[in-house]
Structure 1
Amino acid sequence: MAFPCDLKELSNDFEIELLKKALEYSQFNQKKTAQMLGLTYHQLRGYLKKYNLLESGQKQEA
């Protein structure tokens, strides 16, 4: 990493990668993903909406 850097951009990139990996690990079960990350289901949904990850080819839960 080189300086100067954009901390907000780096933080966002880290959060996106963590969310994607956790979703994949939980087989895209959002309830399990939220539990793994120490979030409520609604907090997780907020992050997914923030980063536009709700419609990224994930399996839809019934």
Structure 2
Amino acid sequence: MAAPERKSIRLPCDIKTEMARLEVDLVQRALVEARHSQVEAAPLLGLSYHQLRALLRKHGMVKSRRRGDAP
């Protein structure tokens, strides 16, 4: 199995921005691997379901439901 490709980050950089990009990338990859099941994606990242949900909210990756919308 080949090592994952790493993107080169040029210095100087904003570490908070780069960490956010890394988090988004890893979450997206885990969701694809888990066929978009958040329950299955969370352990792939070493997170609980609720920790994954918090990351999704943090990065604006979850649609907010309006009251009365179907789950």
TM range (shorter): 0.7 to 0.9
Q: Please, which runs of 5 or more residues in structure 1 have no aligned partner? A: 56-61
Q: Which runs of 4+ in 1 moved over 3 A?
A: none
TM-score normalized by the length of structure 2:
0.73
Q: Aligned AA for 1:35?
A: P
Superposition RMSD in Å = 1.1
Q: Does 1:54 align with 2:54?
A: no
Q: Does 1:21 align with 2:29?
A: yes
Aligned residues: 56
Q: Distance in 2 between matches of 1:38 and 1:3?
A: 29
Q: Distance in 2 between matches of 1:36 and 1:4?
A: 31
TM-score normalized by the length of structure 1:
0.82
Q: Please, which runs of 5 or more residues in structure 2 have no aligned partner? A: 1-8, 64-70
What percent identity do the matched residue pairs reach? 36
